[in-house]
């Protein structure tokens, strides 16, 4: 008998209806009208499959893009409906007869590398643009054993903090090792040992800067959220209030930001910048970049197209790096840094499973004080009882 589970979906029909309601402006959409509770039929357990009970999940910005179709209408491209969810923590409740790495009762985290290329990097993302894939804003899931990693329950983080990291930690890890490697190709350590590193915005940048601080570099976090700046300052990261520069709405705002950066870096500027490579922060990040600097991004937000002055970047020898997501091996490696380096900032409310649409609406409105976490399972296994934080 087919097994069904409650799961959230995004349909092209719901997107179209909400787009019509707001006159076609994605920024005005209420995402809670698009992300809807649905039923998903799980596939039969294959020999290399694992059946999971989802305990908690992290809300991710790619769901906002799917729900607003602000870059591409991924639900329409996937046949009219997707079941999203790229980041989760779950309990193994059954395994296929060829699975040897996991067993019933194990607590695991997911990754979203859906279709590795010949070098291990994803061509597509699981539960987003990978055909036939279904995600983890669901009560249960069946996945291949290659899609899960043992959860580091003894890392010092609580359950919700661990649930915040499966997508963000590999992304930050990937971006940092690439950006640092590119910079070191141009400027060896003996010429510039300590770097100035700037991050804009949210969870990936926070982790990126924690990596920079752990390796002895100066780190700066530009955010409009005082709560998130305060959280990073505990790790020695210098906060910059993005609102003080009107979120870089004009050229004068960008110039004022550049002047401020020069002052707080003793005229050295930023050697590595982590941003979206899109929207107003792109110009600010480039303006703040030092000679030989590297600007790296994994963002999709705001636009698929950007413009910049190639002459100025050539003279300054700035490298722009577009990234996507880590290799599967890189996801395992990033997990080793949970608690040691990665200590995420969590939104003050842990959302219930029924509150998933509201969680995404509040993410769209940019009102959350940290990474939003969804508690999917009401009853949690004994294996995690000692690390359940406040909910």
pLDDT of residue 325: 85
Side-chain-side CA neighbours of 344 within 13 Å: the count stands at: 30
Cβ pair 33, 65 in contact under 8 A: no
pLDDT of residue 284: 87
Give the tens place of pLDDT for each residue, 368-384: 889 999 999 999 999 99
- Round the CA-based radius of gyration of the chain to a whole number and report it: 21
State how far the Cα of 144 lies from the Cα of 90, in Å rounded to an integer: 14
pLDDT of residue 276: 62
pLDDT of residue 148: 97
Does this model's pTM top 0.85? My answer is: yes
For the chain, domain boundaries: 3-167+326-387, 170-322
pLDDT of residue 277: 45
Least confident of 57-61, 363-367, 370-374: 363-367
200 pLDDT exceeds 60?
yes
State how far the Cα of 322 lies from the Cα of 315, in Å rounded to an integer: 20
Average pLDDT over residues 206-234: 93
Cβ pair 166, 255 in contact under 8 A: no
Cβ pair 258, 283 in contact under 8 A: no
Average pLDDT over residues 269-293: 84
38 pLDDT band, cuts 50/70/90, is very high
Cβ pair 140, 40 in contact under 8 A: no
DSSP letters, 155-212, are SS--HHHHHT-TTHHHHHHHHHHHHHHHHHHHS-TTT--S-EEEEESSHHHHHHHHHH
Average pLDDT over residues 77-86: 93
Average pLDDT over residues 250-261: 94
pLDDT of residue 225: 87
Average pLDDT over residues 135-164: 96
Average pLDDT over residues 46-74: 91
73 pLDDT exceeds 80?
yes
26 pLDDT band, cuts 50/70/90, is confident
DSSP letters, 240-296, are EEGGGGGGG-SHHHHHHHHHHHHHHTTT--EEEEE--SSHHHHHHHHHTEEEEEEEE
138 in helix, strand or coil?
strand
Average pLDDT over residues 240-264: 93
Q: What percent of the chain has pLDDT over 90?
A: 73
Architecture per CATH, domain 3-167+326-387, reads as Alpha-Beta Complex (3.90)
301 pLDDT band, cuts 50/70/90, is low
Average pLDDT over residues 233-260: 93
Q: What is the 3-state secondary structure (H, E, C) of 86-101?
A: CCEEEEEEEECCCCCC
pLDDT of residue 81: 95
Class of domain 170-322: alpha beta
pLDDT of residue 267: 95
């Amino acid at each position: 008998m087919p097994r069904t589970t409650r799961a959230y979906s995004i349909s092209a029909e719901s997107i179209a209806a909400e787009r019509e309601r707001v006159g076609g402006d994605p920024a005005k959409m209420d995402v809670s009208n698009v992300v809807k509770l649905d039923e998903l039929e799980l596939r039969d357990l294959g020999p290399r499959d694992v059946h999971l009970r989802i305990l908690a999940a992290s809300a991710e910005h790619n769901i906002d893009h799917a729900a607003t179709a602000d870059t591409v209408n991924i639900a329409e491209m996937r046949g009219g409906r997707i079941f999203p969810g790229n980041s989760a923590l779950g309990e193994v409740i059954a395994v296929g007869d060829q699975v040897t790495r996991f067993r019933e009762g194990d607590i695991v985290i997911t990754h979203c590398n859906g279709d590795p290329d010949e070098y291990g990097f994803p061509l597509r993302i699981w539960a987003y643009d990978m055909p036939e894939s279904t995600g983890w804003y669901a009560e249960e899931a069946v996945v291949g054993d290659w899609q899960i990693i043992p959860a580091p329950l003894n890392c010092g983080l609580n359950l919700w903090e661990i649930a915040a990291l499966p997508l963000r930690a590999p992304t930050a890890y990937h971006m940092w090792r690439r950006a640092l490697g590119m910079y070191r190709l141009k400027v060896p350590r003996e010429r510039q040992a300590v770097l100035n590193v700037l991050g804009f915005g949210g969870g990936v940048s926070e982790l990126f800067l924690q990596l920079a601080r752990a390796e002895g570099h100066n780190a700066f976090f530009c955010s409009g959220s005082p709560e998130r700046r305060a959280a990073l300052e505990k790790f020695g990261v210098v906060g910059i209030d993005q609102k003080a520069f009107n979120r870089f709405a004009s050229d004068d705002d960008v110039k004022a930001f550049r002047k401020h950066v020069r002052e707080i870096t003793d005229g050295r500027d930023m050697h590595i910048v982590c941003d979206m490579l899109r929207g107003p922060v792109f110009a600010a990040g480039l303006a703040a970049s030092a000679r030989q600097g590297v600007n790296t991004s994994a963002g999709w937000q705001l636009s698929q197209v950007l413009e910049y002055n190639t002459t100025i970047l050539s003279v300054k020898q700035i490298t722009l790096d577009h990234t996507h997501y880590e290799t599967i091996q890189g996801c395992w490696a990033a997990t080793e840094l949970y608690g040691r380096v990665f200590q995420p900032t969590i939104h003050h409310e842990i959302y219930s499973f029924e509150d998933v649409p509201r969680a995404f609406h509040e993410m769209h409105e940019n009102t959350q004080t940290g990474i939003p976490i969804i508690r999917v399972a009401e009853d949690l296994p004994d294996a995690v009882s000692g690390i359940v934080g406040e909910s």
